Each structure stands twice: as C-alpha cells, then as structure tokens.
C-alpha cells in the first residue's frame, strides 16, 4: 500500500492556515465596519477622506503657487511693489507651510496616530489662515481708483474661492473656513468702492452659493467612490477568506478520505479473514460433514450463521467497491462482452428468487446486438443490482421488465422497470447517495445497505455512460443505463429506440 506510506501528511489543519484566516477575517470585519457607515461618523472612512484631502492639497500646491505668482505680477500694474511683495510672500509662505504640513501628515493620518478632532482643528486653522491670506489681496488694491483693477480684484477673489471650494471639498468644514474670509473681503471691497453695491453683491452671493453647492456634490461623489472602492476591497477580502476556508475544508476532506481509505484497507483484511472461517465452518456444520447434530436446532443455527456471514461479506464488498469508485481507484478490466448474454445470465440467476415471490421477469432483447468494450464484472454487477432492487420492491404477483437495445445515437442501453411501490420524486437524489434509503424502502421488510444504486451510478459513469432513475409512487420504478457509442465495437447503423425493432421475448413466471 504505497499510497498510505509514512510520508503522508499528519491529521489536522495546516498551522500556517489559521493565522492567515484570522488576518483575512479581521480585514473583512474592518471593511464591513467601514461599509456600514454612509457618511461621516465612521473613523475609518473619515481618516480615508482626510488622507485623500491631504493628498489633493499636496498635488494642488504647484497650481495655487502659480496663481499666486500670476496675481502678484498683475497687481504690479496698479499697486506699489512693496505692498505686492508683502502679500505674495505671505500667501506663498502659507502655501509652502501647508504643503510641508500635508506631506508629513499623509502617513500619520493613514496610521491613525492622532484623533480625528485634532486633525480637523489643525486643518481648519490652516485653511482659515490661507483664506485670510488670499483675502488680503483686496488690501493691496483698496485705494486704487481704476475700474479695471476693481474688476480684476473681484474676479480674482471669485477664482480663488472657486479653486478652494473644489480642492477642499473632501472636508466640508475646511471649505467654509477658507471661503468665509474671501467672501467677507469681496463684500467689504464692494461696499467701500461701489455706490450701488447691491447688484455685484447679489452676483457674489450667487457665486459663493454655487461654489458651496459644487463642493457638496463633489464631496458626495468622492464619498460614493470611496464606498465603492471599499466594497471592491471587501469583495476581494471575502474571496480571499473564502479561498482560505475552502483550502482548509479541502485539506480536511482529503485527510478524512485518507483516513477512510486507511480504515477500509486495514479492515477489509481484518474482517474478511474471520468471515472466511465463519463461512467455512458454518457450512461444514450446516452440511453435517462430520456427523449429524445431536440437537436438530444446531443445524438451523448453523444455517443462520452462514447466511448472516454471507450477508456481512456482501456488505463489506459493496463498501469496498463504492470506496474504490469514489476514490477513482476502480480499475476497469475491459474486454469484448455481450450485453445481451450478461442480462440473460443475471436474469437466470435471479429467476428462483423471483419465483419465490410470484414475480414474473420479462426480457426484451434486440437481435444481433454487437459486443461492447467494457468490464464484464462491473456490467454484471450493475445488472444484478438493478434486478435485485426491482424484485425486492415489487409486491408478490407483480412484474419486472428488462429491455436491452440500441440508443438513438448508436450506443446500447439497459432498462429495468418494475411494478413496485415506487419512489417519491424528491427522494430520488437520496437513494442515489451513499447509504441513502427512501421512505418506501424503510417500510420494506428486506433490509438493505443503501449502496446498490450508488455503485451502479459510479460504475456506469466509469464507462462514460449515464444512469437515470424515474419513478412514480404506487406505479413503479424505471432504471435506465446508457452506454456511449464509443463502447460499441461494431459500427452498425443506429436504430431509434421508439421504432421497436423485432425482439426476442421470453417470460419467466412462477
């Protein structure tokens, strides 16, 4: 038994799998916690939004610095250079400081080193300071009496407000902290220089309201995108967790299969050895080879022992056959066999059992069926199992019909039909499973192991065929075995099953 060598893996799950499963489960739990929140209030989501905000602030630094330099250059047309330089140095200094702050904060925010409240306070103070810095542009041009300068200042402050509302949209409070000083500067500037400030104030208010609306929409879109990304990450983590669970289950199943194979390989010998002795000695005692029994009841006991031993040996053989089929270790010893002759032999073998129950077995075998390439022992076992089941579950006076012929595609089939109790349709998968017995079978006096039909199904599939079971309660059961055309040795023209070609009929009655 080389497949059961000492190099086989020990029982129990792989120790490396447990930590991986715990890590995967923890990641799945974290992602699920994030997905339970649809907005602010969840620490993980707020940290992700804050980290993305810091990244957008860092990436926007070159653009904002370029705008500051451009505005300073334009202001030189109307304002003194000293005043412009002071303003530009203040704004660019604030931009450089914020750039350094956010660049250092990205890894710290990702790791969650500080509380969300501390990060929000720092960000709001810094953005409010930048808003004040941009609003001081109005001071540089406050005393300039030029319509073009006034229009430039109005448009410049609105541009700064629009840029800030888009860049800072991921933290709504930062939008207000940055936009309020700029808005107040625009309003103060218009009130000072305009004789009728109502129209431009309305325009500025509408623009600010629109900027806020856009920032809120951008925030909602960003949050939705973040949740979708988290959902995708969650699915990936779920798949990884499911894969680990599947690997562990497969490993346990392989170990269980190995344990079952070891048990069967060991117990088959351990059980068969005493059974052979029981069968042999009980047969000697039943036949009274060494003289008659002093008590006649001993002969009956010997017969009971012998029949029980035969039943137990048959059960062991069935279990071993099913085990080999399920493990894929059943080796077919293929040769040219006649399906018609096998059916006739099996029918003849079971005729006596049918006569005892007053059951008529009717054969219908098509003429001139060619041989098939198959394992004779396996095919014989298939036919015997089907006929035995049909006889077992058919009441006295009923009938069993067995038919052999061509399929429409050129294969051969065996059909066994009885007039027994039948099987409820919902129980057919049960009776086709190992050790499965239907409710009708449990009421039957004859006990069975529930291995006959699973063995039939496994042996037929090993030949590349198909096994189907049809049944109706109180009408009967029909079992059909179909062997593929590749198994037929003679290339004869296929005959349709519905055509009912001439057949040989032979009835065996009680």
The phi, psi pair for 483, rounded to 5°, reads: -100, 140
Residue 267 lies in a domain: no
321 and 340 co-located in one domain? no
Give dist(CA 393, CA 445) in Å, integer: 9
Structural domains in the chain (count): 3
In DSSP terms, 412 is beta-bridged to 406, 483
Residue 6 lies in a domain: no
**What is Dmax (Cα atoms) for the chain?**
143
Q: What is the mean pLDDT of residues 50-56?
A: 87
- Which string of DSSP letters, residue by residue, matches 54-70? HHHHHHTHHHHHHHHHH
Is 441 a residue whose pLDDT tops 60?
no
Share of the chain above pLDDT 90, in %: 23
pLDDT band at 59; cut points 50, 70, 90: very high
| Residue 349 confidence (pLDDT) above 50 | yes
Provide the pLDDT confidence category of residue 284 given band limits of 50, 70 and 90.
confident
Q: In the prediction, which pLDDT does 503 show?
A: 44
> Residue 341 is encoded by which pair of tokens?
């002759």
- Can you tell me the mean pLDDT for 144-155? 82
Cα gap 198→46, rounded to integer Å: 40
My answer on whether 323 and 347 are in the same domain is no
Alpha carbon 369 to its chain centroid, in Å, reads: 47
Task: Flag whether 247 is in a domain.
Answer: no
Q: Is residue 12 a part of any domain in this protein?
A: no
Q: Find the mean pLDDT for residues 393-414.
A: 92
| Domain contains 388 | yes
The whole-model pTM stands at 0.47
Residue 79 has pLDDT above 50, yes or no: yes
- pLDDT higher than threshold 90 for residue 92: yes
Q: Does residue 4 belong to any structural domain of this protein? A: no
For residue 17, pLDDT over 80 is answered with: no
The pLDDT confidence band at residue 275, using thresholds 50, 70 and 90, is: confident
Cα–Cα distance measured from residue 387 to residue 298, given in angstroms and rounded to the nearest whole number: 34
In a domain, 263, yes or no: no
* Domain's final residue, options 241, 256, 290: 241
Between residues 122 and 144, which one has the greater pLDDT? 122
Specify whether 372 is located in the same domain as 492: yes
Q: Which of 187, 219, 241 is the last residue of a domain?
A: 241
Three-class secondary structure of residue 478 per DSSP: strand
Weakest mean pLDDT among 22-31, 59-68, 211-220, 361-370: 22-31
Instruction: Please check whether residues 132 and 46 belong to one and the same domain.
Output: yes
SS3 of 105-122: HHHHHHHCCCCHHHHHHH
For residue 280, pLDDT beyond 90:
no
Task: Verify that 112 and 150 share a domain, yes or no.
Answer: yes
pLDDT at 99 over 90: yes
Domain match, 363 and 492 both: yes
Is the same domain home to 129 and 217? Answer: yes
Instruction: Give the range with max mean pLDDT: 160-174, 224-238, 286-300.
Output: 160-174
Rounded CA gap, 319 and 321, in Å?
Answer: 5
Which residues, in sequence order, are CB contacts of 261 under 8 Å at separation 6+? 3, 4, 323, 327
User: Are 358 and 317 in a shared domain?
Assistant: no
- Quick check: 102 pLDDT over 80? yes
More confident residue, 200 or 417: 417
pLDDT at 413 over 90: yes
pLDDT at 328 over 50: yes
The torsion defined by the Cα of 182, 183, 189 and 194, in degrees rounded to 10, comes to: 150
| Higher-pLDDT residue of 260, 84 | 84
Query: Are 487 and 373 within 8 A, CB to CB?
Result: yes
Render 245-260 in DSSP notation, one character per residue: HHHHHHHHHHHHHHHH
* pLDDT band at residue 5 using 50, 70 and 90 as cut-offs: very low
**What gap in Å lies between CA 297 and CA 302, rounded to an integer?**
9
- Say whether both 360 and 290 belong to one domain: no
- Listed range (167-176, 181-190, 365-374) with the worst mean pLDDT: 181-190
pLDDT given for residue 343 in this prediction = 93
Least confident segment among 206-210, 298-302, 355-359, 410-414: 298-302
Pair (116, 174) in one structural domain = yes
Q: Taking residues 163-182, what's their average pLDDT?
A: 87
Determine the Cα–Cα distance for residues 449 and 386; give it in Å rounded to an integer: 14
Across the chain, mean pLDDT equals: 79
Is residue 284 domain-shared with residue 213, that is, in the same domain?
no
Could you tell me if residue 220 is inside a domain?
yes
Question: Quick one: pLDDT at residue 2?
Answer: 37
Q: Which residues pair with 45 in a beta bridge?
A: none
> Which of the four pLDDT bands, split at 50, 70 and 90, describes residue 90?
very high
Q: What is the mean pLDDT of residues 244-264?
A: 79
Please indicate, yes or no, whether residues 354 and 294 belong to a single structural domain of this protein.
Answer: no
Question: Looking at per-residue confidence, does 280 or 507 come out higher?
Answer: 280
Least confident of 84-93, 264-273, 312-321: 264-273
CATH number of the domain residue 500 falls in: 3.30.565.10
pLDDT band at 196 (very low <50, low <70, confident <90, very high): confident
Residue bearing the bigger pLDDT, 274 or 212: 212
Residue 430 is part of which domain span? 334-508
């Amino acid at each position: 038994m080389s497949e059961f060598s000492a190099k086989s893996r020990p029982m129990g799950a792989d120790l490396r799998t447990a930590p991986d499963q715990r890590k995967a489960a923890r990641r799945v739990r974290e992602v699920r916690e994030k997905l339970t929140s649809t907005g602010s209030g969840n620490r993980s989501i707020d940290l992700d939004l804050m980290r993305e905000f810091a990244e957008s602030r860092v990436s926007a630094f070159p653009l904002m610095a370029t705008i500051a330099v451009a505005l300073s250059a334009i202001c030189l047309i109307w304002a003194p250079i000293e005043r412009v330089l002071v303003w530009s140095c203040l704004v660019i200094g604030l931009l450089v400081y914020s750039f350094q702050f956010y660049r250092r904060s990205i890894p710290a925010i990702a790791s969650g080193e500080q509380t969300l409240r501390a990060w929000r306070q720092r960000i709001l103070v810094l953005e409010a300071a930048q808003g004040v810095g941009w609003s001081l542009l109005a001071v540089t041009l406050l005393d300039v009496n030029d319509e073009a300068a006034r229009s430039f200042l109005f448009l410049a402050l609105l541009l700064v407000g629009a840029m800030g509302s888009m860049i800072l949209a991921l933290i709504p409070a930062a939008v207000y902290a940055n936009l309020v000083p700029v808005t107040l500067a625009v309003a103060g500037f218009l009130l000072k220089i305009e004789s009728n400030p109502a129209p431009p104030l309305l325009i500025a208010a509408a623009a600010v309201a629109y900027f806020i609306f856009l920032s809120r929409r951008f925030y909602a879109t960003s949050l939705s995108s973040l949740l979708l990304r988290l959902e995708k990450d969650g699915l990936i983590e779920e798949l990884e967790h499911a894969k680990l669970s599947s690997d562990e289950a497969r490993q346990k199943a392989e170990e269980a299969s190995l344990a079952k194979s070891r048990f069967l390989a060991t117990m088959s010998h351990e059980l068969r050895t005493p059974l052979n002795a029981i069968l042999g000695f009980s047969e000697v005692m039943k036949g009274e080879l060494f003289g008659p029994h002093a008590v006649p009841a001993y002969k009956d006991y010997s017969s009971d022992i012998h029949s029980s031993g035969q039943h137990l040996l048959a059960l062991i053989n069935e279990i071993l056959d099913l085990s080999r089929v399920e493990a894929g270790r059943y080796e077919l010893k293929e040769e040219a066999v006649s399906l018609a002759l096998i059916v006739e032999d099996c029918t003849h073998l079971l005729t006596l059992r049918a006569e005892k129950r007053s059951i008529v077995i009717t054969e219908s075998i098509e003429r001139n069926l060619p041989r098939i390439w198959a394992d004779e022992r396996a095919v014989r076992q298939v036919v015997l199992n089907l006929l035995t089941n049909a006889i077992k579950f058919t009441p006295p006076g009923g009938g069993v019909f067995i038919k052999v012929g061509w399929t429409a595609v050129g294969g051969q089939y065996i059909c066994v039909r009885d007039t027994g109790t039948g099987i409820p349709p919902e129980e057919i998968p049960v009776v086709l499973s190992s050790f499965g017995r239907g409710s009708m079978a449990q009421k039957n006096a004859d006990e069975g192991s529930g291995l006959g039909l699973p063995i039939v199904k496994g042996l037929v599939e090993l030949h590349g065929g198909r096994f189907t079971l049809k049944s109706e309660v109180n009408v009967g059961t029909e079992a059909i075995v179909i062997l593929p055309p590749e198994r037929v040795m003679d290339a004869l023209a296929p005959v349709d099953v519905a055509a009912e070609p001439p057949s040989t009929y032979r009835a065996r009655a009680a």
